[in-house]
Amino acid sequence: NAGVMQNPRHLVRRRGQEARLRCSPMKGHSHVYWYRQLPEEGLKFMVYLQKENIIDESGMPKERFSAEFPKEGPSILRIQQVVRGDSAAYFCASSPPNSQTTGELFFGEGSRLTVL
């Protein structure tokens, strides 16, 4: 059973470009979460999605950031008009529908975004 797959692992963008990060959850998992880790900091919650629904986006910046988890295909975190402050590692995690009593999340290896 493959783990949570994120790609690309590394992405370099110039200021003003768009960044798209993809996450395929573990097989059988229908809940996806995105976290951001700035240098020398802990992970910060961004958004929680289920298939075709955004459940909690309280950690998402109000502008330029969006996330989706379509019925088919991976979850996408999209950052428009990137700025240097967006440089960070972006982690995706997933959990199965019946994990709500355990709380355990399974993390991907992260996507490192560098904005020049």
Partner 1 sequence: AQTVTQSQPEMSVQEAETVTLSCTYDTSENNYYLFWYKQPPSRQMILVIRQEAYKQQNATENRFSVNFQKAAKSFSLKISDSQLGDTAMYFCAFMKQNAGGTSYGKLTFGQGTILTVHP
Q: Is 113 in the site for partner 1 (CB under 8 A)?
A: no
- DSSP classification of residue 8: -
Does residue 41 bind partner 1 (CB under 8 A)?
yes
Closest listed residue to residue 4, CA positions, set 79, 96, 66, 102: 96
- Residue 1 engages partner 1 in binding (rule: CB under 8 A): no
Stretch that binds partner 1, among 18-26, 37-45, 70-78, 79-87 (CB under 8 A): 37-45
Contact at 8 Å (CB) between 34 and 77?
yes
Cβ-based nearer residue to partner 1, 50 or 80? 50
Least distance (Å) from partner 1 to the CB of residue 81? 26
CA distance 75 to 69: 4
